[in-house]
Structure 1
């Protein structure tokens, strides 16, 4: 079979698309990626998959911005239709983000079935616009905000696909930790919002009890503009830290760490729960519909994460949370087990099964139950997408 995967240009959309592509290719299917210029440049993804870059507008509140976006979307739709005329796919799979919009519109116009995948606990804007046309919607959470009840019958709970190397971490023992072992921390900020972590985390680690502070080993992702300042702070505190602007070998870094501190993006949550790693999560407050807070709730309720809203994310609060986990070695291993308990490590397999069924003309056969909830004031639009 032949499949087109359409994904926006951020890691949150591209990583699950990459994991599905690997699963489909392993089954002998052909895969083509449609994305934007940003997505095509993300390192380490889709190295053996043909990539087609489409023009795609972004919705704007200004009249001129809307006109420009509409023109770009229609141009992308025409280009995608021409592509499908030459190489007709069995199905087109959309992972959200504005670059996926024209590819999915073109598929509907050509009578090609579409499958949407929603990584977040709140249905994204593009997926909301296209849900009525989709043959199936794969979700990562049992409860999905802004999913209309009329679309619930086409929903399948599959999880959020992660790389096989991440899944393997969940099959291995949690790294040994006791009263004298080093405490290995991984600090990531996703594609946005790493600055606040660079401002708070070093000072928070510096506020730890002396015995614990001297046992720290830190790996941290920083914005390019922040990295030298953060490095100087760690040097002054005497805390060994490995800093970089992008962590390409995330699987090995996640495998070594005892605790992750970072945002609550969909891919971050999926990787943490598949690998079984505890976390302190600071949801991005400007994320559309506050979806990062919604993402973090399941893991936090299970006891695999502690969630700190950004206004309360201070060095002192962070230090107390780390001490509460690290002072009792069993607390970390228990949190790791609770994180793993809400993971869905077979998401790539289950999503591939769904895509094959739809591509083969079959109906949706749910592998899980998803609760559809109407829009509420709690999840009103809150700003730019994460």
Structure 2
């Protein structure tokens, strides 16, 4: 007996926060022996990252449609209609049996098209405050997967709703394995180890604040690893050197699991992927939400982690050096508090999220992925 291979579509994109979960799911689907293709925008990061990962991408005409003028909304409406036609054709040609949406405005035409074809739909919402696309599309979904229970309310799903599953955010298999293989964090020896990063491109606000704060750091008690992004690397490195603070400053770091494991505390943004990685590493954090994130979702993510006792949230409008130093000094003097925060973060880790989502979604297909003679 062999299991009938299923045909999957995964929709969404625009940012790394959407594309990474999409690729994580595509990896697991491919590993099952099923076929999968992705639907996304024609101008987002997916146009580069999806082909690099070895998957087919169908580009959909799509535009943001909210918070714009009448003409822009008219164009967005036309783009949505065109995107629905393209998505419908792609889904029919491939005999798609399941569509999973990871959010972003590019997901809207794909989900609408799937609904018209009566293809089972699942949504993945990584943030505590759901994006507009997923809020709009939630009524069409047979299953909704969230990282934060707080998202359920906004998606109008009761905690006991069988369609809702709080299973975490899908992470790439290589990243999950890297966290599993990384050495466990040791007890602090010598200097306190601070990890500062703002995503792959760095964060100018964090960089500016650390340039000011460097002179207030005790070079005998602290060591810093700081990912700055390319533009600020030399400026930040010079600030640490002038203050005689031991620091390793890089534009980009490929082995983040190692850096998480070596640190005692992180200072970073609160994107959905960052939060998931902090939990995987069991690393306490000072979170500074990006103030211009859509729907202020990073503030909601940070608050959820703070409420769980896994992080402290610092205000980002503006991020005052005095606020940072007060929080940092307090935690440096409280190893038991840091330990409790780390345990709280680790308790929220969901390394099997992608596998759970794929297994659950497979049951939605008309054949249910059952074995066939």
Residue from 279, 300, 303 that aligns with 1:297: 303
How far off is 1:283 after superposition?
1.3
Task: Name the counterpart of 1:190.
Answer: 199
User: What is the TM-score when the length of structure 2 is the normalising length?
Assistant: 0.86
Task: Name the counterpart of 2:320.
Answer: 314
Partner SS for 2:312: strand
Partner SS for 1:175: coil
Task: Name the counterpart of 2:32.
Answer: 27
Go from structure 1 to structure 2 and tell me whether the alpha carbon gap of 1:170 and 1:329 turns closer, same or farther (over 3 Å shift): farther
Task: Name the counterpart of 1:154.
Answer: 163
Answer whether contact 1:10 1:191 (CA < 8 A) is retained: no
Go from structure 1 to structure 2 and tell me whether the alpha carbon gap of 1:179 and 1:251 turns closer, same or farther (over 3 Å shift): closer
Partner SS for 1:211: coil
Task: Name the counterpart of 2:22.
Answer: 17
Q: Which runs of 5+ in 2 are unaligned?
A: 1-5, 369-373
Task: Name the counterpart of 1:73.
Answer: 80
CA distance, structure 2, for counterparts of residue 248 and residue 303 of structure 1: 28
1:24-103 aligned within 5 A: 24-36=29-41, 37-41=43-47, 47-60=53-66, 61-103=68-110
Task: Name the counterpart of 2:188.
Answer: 178
Q: Which has the higher contact order (CA 8 A, sep 6+)?
A: 1
CA distance, structure 1, for counterparts of residue 107 and residue 36 of structure 2: 15
1:327-346 aligned within 5 A: 327-346=333-352
Query: In the alignment, is residue 233 of structure 1 matched against residue 239 of structure 2?
Result: yes
Partner SS for 2:37: strand
Go from structure 1 to structure 2 and tell me whether the alpha carbon gap of 1:22 and 1:282 turns closer, same or farther (over 3 Å shift): same
Q: Which runs of 5+ in 1 are unaligned?
A: 363-386
Q: Which moved more, 1:144-153 or 1:61-70?
A: 144-153
CA distance, structure 2, for counterparts of residue 42 and residue 317 of structure 1: 39
Answer whether contact 1:170 1:276 (CA < 8 A) is retained: no
Go from structure 1 to structure 2 and tell me whether the alpha carbon gap of 1:164 and 1:252 turns closer, same or farther (over 3 Å shift): farther
Task: Name the counterpart of 1:380.
Answer: none
User: What is the TM-score when the length of structure 1 is the normalising length?
Assistant: 0.83
Partner SS for 1:311: coil
Task: Name the counterpart of 1:5.
Answer: 10
Partner SS for 2:58: strand
CA distance, structure 1, for counterparts of residue 157 and residue 46 of structure 2: 35
How far off is 1:85 after superposition?
2.4
Question: Once the two structures are superposed, what CA deviation does each residue of 1:340-386 show, in whole Å capped at 9, x if it has no partner?
Answer: 01222221121112211122466xxxxxxxxxxxxxxxxxxxxxxxx
CA distance, structure 1, for counterparts of residue 186 and residue 51 of structure 2: 31
CA distance, structure 2, for counterparts of residue 251 and residue 359 of structure 1: 35
CA distance, structure 2, for counterparts of residue 235 and residue 119 of structure 1: 38
CA distance, structure 1, for counterparts of residue 33 and residue 185 of structure 2: 36
CA distance, structure 2, for counterparts of residue 361 and residue 260 of structure 1: 46
Residue from 203, 217, 226 that aligns with 1:219: 226
How far off is 1:123 after superposition?
2.0
Question: Once the two structures are superposed, what CA deviation does each residue of 1:240-264 show, in whole Å capped at 9, x if it has no partner?
Answer: 23221x4444333333333221111
Go from structure 1 to structure 2 and tell me whether the alpha carbon gap of 1:338 and 1:116 turns closer, same or farther (over 3 Å shift): same
How far off is 1:173 after superposition?
5.5
Query: In the alignment, is residue 202 of structure 1 matched against residue 211 of structure 2?
Result: yes
Go from structure 1 to structure 2 and tell me whether the alpha carbon gap of 1:172 and 1:328 turns closer, same or farther (over 3 Å shift): farther
How far off is 1:118 after superposition?
0.6
Query: In the alignment, is residue 113 of structure 1 matched against residue 120 of structure 2?
Result: yes
For these two proteins, the number of residue pairs brought into alignment is 357
Query: In the alignment, is residue 142 of structure 1 matched against residue 166 of structure 2?
Result: no
